[in-house]
Structure 1
């Protein structure tokens, strides 16, 4: 994606460390009765279709309830079409599509989207490359102009090509080399699962094959695939249909359909002839893993619905068969899941287990095989079937909240099937799946003879790191690409086609917030919306990690995690079962200052969901056996997190900024503190801080104040505070500390993480809005100063960012990125220089205007979803800010002046107060860093102590 995410098998399943929140879903005891099918209906997407004479398909759907519009262009070209010897090429080309055209200078897409309050992005998958924007509706014509211009006249020169190729190589290092399971899911799984199909090549390619690509290849690739008859245009949002049709005819219809044919790429993956296995070794593997895979069916196959439901039963949530067996009961896996990957021409289902500490992959393999055998040998229960369907239907509803969601759902169905009605039919197809269908597809596809076993183990002296497959053959070759078109160049400004003017502004509407208290002091806020039948609830307590007992970081997080793991009347499996029956999502998580318990469900089951949520909050069991399970899982998550440079830096920054103060320790706990947490600790934490008089309940979505009051009274009205006053906590940030330069040495790290950190402000500080606006200019988007300097201008990173880290007390500002070890010092200098510039020179009005739009546009997009709206309201409540700020937000941002931005940074965030934390292979950069900072502290990762302010 432009955040340049490559979609890959099980990419979302990587165990990257501790989650921010614990979510309960469900598996069902065999004796449970089958619930009735959920009454909620998912409305059809409702797009209209037309086809231009040049072959381009156009789909549109008007929605006057939003102030935004999305424009998406889906090209029928993906990583399967990478020419032989050029793996990663479609993805590399995706990056280049954000550069210049004959009528637009480089980075114009960011000016046209981010700078007006919108966003743009893209992704490359096996079969498709898609580009999408969301902008205020009055900017629709400008985006159509821009998308047509880059389809017809992309400009790429040698320096731009080389720079962006370097960025992709940094992405490879970050996603593949620096991530402990990046090689497994990004490289080794696809190359093992597929024998002949080009799906076996990684979408991100390899550094060697990226280096072999040339500018001539780029121009020919564009000429081959980026053409109107190979594209689908999708527009959804607030627009006039006749006006849209006219603009499409004006900008896209003149593009010519080339006479050259598209290369043929329809490889048939052979049926498996017997079981296969492979073992791979890699550096930086904290816990071994095993994956089992089976070749299944392509996306359009009639068995996809049954396999989708099967996967839901197998691995969706804590009630799933895999979680219940491997994580909950046997406790042999830190994480387990499965992923059905249905591509256009072939598919697979992969089940994996990342083993718990000390557990061998053989145990994981046996346990995975046992659960797959159960699916083949025994029909699933009617309850399991109904629960999986309910959850799939509810997720389909959540996936249609925003105009962007609906357009993306349509685009994927079109690419995979060519049928615009396919996305709507999929819901009915899922609802029609029977228990016999699930067993049939298990017996047909998930057999021992078809099984592929992949073991992933730490490299050592006897087993060096496994090497990525190179020079893999492919059906498309460079010679098959069309001849390059005449090279486009950026026209002189006087000769460029005039960019259309923006139309009249469509302002986002904010709802009127109902605000009342129950008799027990519980504050209730209600933010009603019209649209889909979804409702969200957030219950917040003044109970964050800063309230952890001294010397026991992680108690707040553990208390939140245990809420879904049993009450006085329900076991953890029963809770998970109940939620999946409802198609609901309920979970809890803690931050530095607060704990948030949340629920999201279709409206027709929301009252039952809130009742269950109340039981979790009011009657947690905190069973010792559940605490021990959570401790084991948390420790495994920490071991994985502490194998990644970025995560190590993130967990260390608190100690550098706050020392021994309550804010200092990692909120999720440490390897030493988590095992020391007792049941008495979490029970006491809950008893002292979970009290209605200091809680806020926020409802948002398809609910009104009357309904909300009745629900709140029923669920929480008779809840009373415990005896005694709530504990108070002063000075969470502690005294200011001198800056430090800390290197955490991780030999062989795939990249270095570089973070500059210092104290910022609390959320209620008078300079909050100047700092928020300034931070957006510094590091709050693709076109921010940090990203421009480090990624765009120099190609040193996949992305750089900054955040204020606001809290009740002084927050933790960070500016961060990851880069190759060789450039860690250079990048650190660049970060500090940009931070310093914020406080020493005023930004220009021209610079701040687009950053204002960025903030206001992001605010408007949050209003489109029930969870986004609820989060905005909850934030105001948490910091005791007036609800009027919701309606005033845009005006508060617009009122900030350049002088206020500079003054706020000079006062609160001067660069000379910043500490540096660098995590990577110190042998590569330490001498250069020591020359600049003679007092640099070097701490081997093996000696890192997050329980100490000294980090030793």
Structure 2
């Protein structure tokens, strides 16, 4: 289902739609009572609005500050400025040095992040509740006394450039959606500039500009503070009054920024070209309304009917029936001053942009020409209501819902009214807004094609006027520096900890051998089910890579009682999320639904698993879609590197083949292959079913028995997987040359360990130190110190057999060799020196904090329980997790890395424009292999 940020209301009822097939209709579900967001508001004397909501069911607290400044407020010639400044806000203040925010959050088991969009820059932290006072102090410090020096400014600007290269230039459709779509739709509004800006505008920025930007927009009356979680209200109010209330509000008014976007004067068509576009794309777009306009609501419901889920009009028509598109969707974008609706299609192989444009126009015309059906209307509302329910599952979620409503409308009550307004939308409302806004005369048509000699790459337009200029910004004022340590305001003391509680797990088996685990979670009326099988990549026959994934994908594409369209419609009528997927060792079928319709969701889930038909026509469709997706993936450096790394480490062994299959194996998979894989591997005696959420053991037992109790296993035993990791292989240095790549992807890969290895916890903690968090060593060396990457990461990659350890980063092409050296050096350091005691303590906090966060959602909790069951680990490991992490010391980490992940066993894969780095790499690694991307063969261990 399409993800949406949608507010919820005090009471909501899922609408029941007419069944799409001849079955006994279920009784109408009872309404779900959802409590209001329940935030309390007060305004400080300096103009800052504060919203708080107490929740003692969690051991955490979230602190969010939403500033009313975004991409639209970037000065002329300085696009990307608000986003650049977001990065700088994590640096020093007069009272604490750079990276202190990470120390105050990640190092104690929390997390922090921020985002910038057209209208807002928002900062959010979640921490154990006993650290709340420190976060209030820190937020006040960076609002009132931020330090910006030249070195930090230049380093973070380089980081943002790498973010631009990674998200815009290195992605095949990055330019289209980040740059060309907004620049084409809007004619006068500052929204026509991409939020991330341009390399030229970023280079033009000066440190004085940055300081003036902070003085202009970072002020108490331009911010909302939101705090939710486990706290004492009086105590919190006192901290806010102590730290935030004294910050003065400037008398200078904010720059005027209220551009009225003109009405379209006629249709427009444009064509753009970009490198490495494997399949052409088309976009239709129409200017619509700002967020607070009442027509936003029927347009939102229209969008749900158009493209949410596989029963939507776009998927059903363009992808499923006509098979014109590999992907087709739509997006409503409503912001403070304007808005638009867009629909797009990435064409299937061999299909033309003109075919896509005609098909999109036909689907839009249907909204204008005839009312939507009652069933479609009910289904869209159900999905929106269920998504709203999921959007308030955690304290972070609820704060986000509130913050978004406040930024767009300055009215907190919007968050508690929206679902009632959606429920009131009629078919006539939808037809009215379609006729008003989605007309051919108002439309913009975009074609996005691969660049070649005749059609060079389309350049981003950077010379764009804006209502705010650099001259409009406030004077710099006092330039602050980090005070000597003795003069800094001390950090507040830490209060007594609030420990997370792990719920008990009920564990039983049905008579047919199906293991059932139940973990109840009070709170929202949501329930999750996860059914897992020993059926993964490890079980595929040679030359059949992709069978496990294809089998899982086809489960939702037809049973003996339901067609694929009927399944999609039924899922979406329930407001449920039901899907399936396969990994290295296991396949999982999952369902998440509101509690009042959860039994129907499980009954449907059981039919998908037990009675699939694997129709030839559905296999053909799924194969075509997968091949189109693979062609797109093979133009993206990071995805190519990930697939090649598996072959380098595992060779011809089952783990070595790409899990989704290859351009060669997918066409060779037959219906008989799929049916045989399902018959052999999908059986109750080898399966585990996990229920989590608003369900108790008695109800879960009855539901499991009803759905799966009469399912009998085949008489023959399931075949055993044979050495899926194969024998260890020699190390390799491989470059895959992709001329014109926007970035280089650098991956260090080693054969790792199984999940049940005795060194799992030391290796997990060491991996977190290496590249598992923002404060990791890799990120410190590559991003923070040198600005060479937007982000680095490492993964232990455990499996049943030896896993795949990777450490990776994307960087500009000419820095690929340097980044490779930095990654290898950090892997070496972990296996040759002990981490310090403080590093161990902070990594332990990060792991236990992430564990606590996972306990907060029904899917996260169910995933933890399922993970233990799949690897035959006792359920007692759930409650023992924290103590297992805390038992690890520095010596254990060093010893585990030295034994299992020594750098002399490491291979290196780099995908990018080799001409820009091959000489430097060859000087370090004379034995490097260079393979042209056009010659890459993922069926072979040799890769060619």
**What's the secondary structure of 1:154's corresponding residue?**
coil
The CA deviation at 1:930 is 1.2
The separation in 2 between residues aligned to 1:801 and 1:460, in whole angstroms, is: 34
Instruction: Find 1:231's aligned residue among 211, 223, 227.
Output: 223
Larger deviation: 724-733 or 116-125? 724-733
**What's the secondary structure of 1:743's corresponding residue?**
strand
Contact 1:193 1:200 in 2 (8 A): yes
The CA deviation at 1:34 is 13
Instruction: Find 1:517's aligned residue among 505, 509, 515.
Output: 509
Contact 1:223 1:483 in 2 (8 A): yes
The 5 A counterparts of 1:445-484 are 445-484=437-476
The 5 A counterparts of 1:49-198 are 49-198=41-190
Residues 1:840 and 2:832 aligned together: yes
Contact 1:123 1:131 in 2 (8 A): yes
Residues 1:870 and 2:866 aligned together: no
Contact 1:553 1:666 in 2 (8 A): yes
Match of 2:8 in 1: none
The separation in 2 between residues aligned to 1:697 and 1:665, in whole angstroms, is: 28
Deviations, residues 325-383 of structure 1 (Å, cap 9, x unaligned): 00000000000000000001100000000000111100000000000000111100001
The separation in 1 between residues aligned to 2:472 and 2:452, in whole angstroms, is: 43
The 5 A counterparts of 1:553-952 are 553-952=545-944
**What's the secondary structure of 1:565's corresponding residue?**
coil
Question: For the structure 1 residues 35 and 174, does the alpha-carbon distance in structure 2 shift closer, same or farther, using more than 3 Å as the test?
Answer: farther
Deviations, residues 563-607 of structure 1 (Å, cap 9, x unaligned): 000000100000011111110010000000000100000000000
Q: Which runs of 4+ in 1 moved over 2 A?
A: 10-13, 25-43
Residues 1:202 and 2:194 aligned together: yes
The separation in 2 between residues aligned to 1:918 and 1:765, in whole angstroms, is: 30
**What's the secondary structure of 1:917's corresponding residue?**
strand
The CA deviation at 1:455 is 0.7
Instruction: Find 1:39's aligned residue among 7, 22, 31.
Output: 31
Match of 2:381 in 1: 389
The separation in 1 between residues aligned to 2:19 and 2:932, in whole angstroms, is: 46
Contact 2:160 2:790 in 1 (8 A): yes
The separation in 2 between residues aligned to 1:928 and 1:777, in whole angstroms, is: 28
Question: For the structure 1 residues 12 and 631, does the alpha-carbon distance in structure 2 shift closer, same or farther, using more than 3 Å as the test?
Answer: farther
The CA deviation at 1:238 is 0.4
- In structure 2, the gaps of 5 or more residues are 6-15
**Between Structure 1 and Structure 2, how many residues are aligned?**
932
Residues 1:216 and 2:216 aligned together: no
The separation in 2 between residues aligned to 1:310 and 1:575, in whole angstroms, is: 21
**What's the secondary structure of 1:663's corresponding residue?**
helix
Contact 1:37 1:390 in 2 (8 A): no
The separation in 1 between residues aligned to 2:446 and 2:28, in whole angstroms, is: 40
Q: TM-score, normalised by structure 2?
A: 0.98
The CA deviation at 1:26 is 12
Contact 2:580 2:589 in 1 (8 A): yes
The CA deviation at 1:29 is 6.8
Deviations, residues 454-493 of structure 1 (Å, cap 9, x unaligned): 1101111111111101110000000000001200110111
Question: For the structure 1 residues 38 and 473, does the alpha-carbon distance in structure 2 shift closer, same or farther, using more than 3 Å as the test?
Answer: farther
RMSD over aligned Cα, in angstroms?
1.6
The CA deviation at 1:11 is 11
The separation in 1 between residues aligned to 2:652 and 2:272, in whole angstroms, is: 42
The CA deviation at 1:38 is 7.1
**What's the secondary structure of 1:155's corresponding residue?**
coil
Instruction: Find 1:255's aligned residue among 222, 243, 247.
Output: 247
The separation in 2 between residues aligned to 1:360 and 1:899, in whole angstroms, is: 60
The separation in 1 between residues aligned to 2:714 and 2:338, in whole angstroms, is: 59
Instruction: Find 1:319's aligned residue among 311, 316, 328.
Output: 311
The CA deviation at 1:43 is 2.4
Match of 1:529 in 2: 521
The CA deviation at 1:40 is 2.4
**What's the secondary structure of 2:556's corresponding residue?**
helix
The separation in 2 between residues aligned to 1:11 and 1:645, in whole angstroms, is: 26
Residues 1:376 and 2:368 aligned together: yes
Deviations, residues 37-61 of structure 1 (Å, cap 9, x unaligned): 8722432111000000000000000
Match of 2:9 in 1: none
Contact 1:27 1:573 in 2 (8 A): no
Deviations, residues 292-315 of structure 1 (Å, cap 9, x unaligned): 000001001101110000000000
The separation in 2 between residues aligned to 1:830 and 1:59, in whole angstroms, is: 44
Contact 2:220 2:247 in 1 (8 A): yes
**What's the secondary structure of 1:113's corresponding residue?**
helix
Contact 2:44 2:245 in 1 (8 A): yes
Match of 1:21 in 2: none
Q: TM-score, normalised by structure 1?
A: 0.97
**What's the secondary structure of 2:655's corresponding residue?**
coil
Contact 1:670 1:946 in 2 (8 A): yes
Contact 2:743 2:813 in 1 (8 A): yes
**What's the secondary structure of 1:80's corresponding residue?**
helix
The separation in 2 between residues aligned to 1:606 and 1:29, in whole angstroms, is: 18
The 5 A counterparts of 1:393-472 are 393-472=385-464
Contact 1:55 1:229 in 2 (8 A): yes
The CA deviation at 1:730 is 2.7
The separation in 2 between residues aligned to 1:28 and 1:459, in whole angstroms, is: 48
The separation in 2 between residues aligned to 1:161 and 1:458, in whole angstroms, is: 36
Larger deviation: 395-404 or 35-44? 35-44
Contact 1:37 1:386 in 2 (8 A): no
**What's the secondary structure of 1:139's corresponding residue?**
helix
Contact 1:26 1:576 in 2 (8 A): no
**What's the secondary structure of 1:630's corresponding residue?**
helix
The CA deviation at 1:723 is 1.8
The separation in 2 between residues aligned to 1:37 and 1:448, in whole angstroms, is: 41
- In structure 1, the gaps of 5 or more residues are 1-9, 14-24
Contact 1:26 1:578 in 2 (8 A): no
The separation in 2 between residues aligned to 1:443 and 1:642, in whole angstroms, is: 41
Contact 1:26 1:580 in 2 (8 A): no
Contact 1:117 1:854 in 2 (8 A): yes
**What's the secondary structure of 2:255's corresponding residue?**
coil
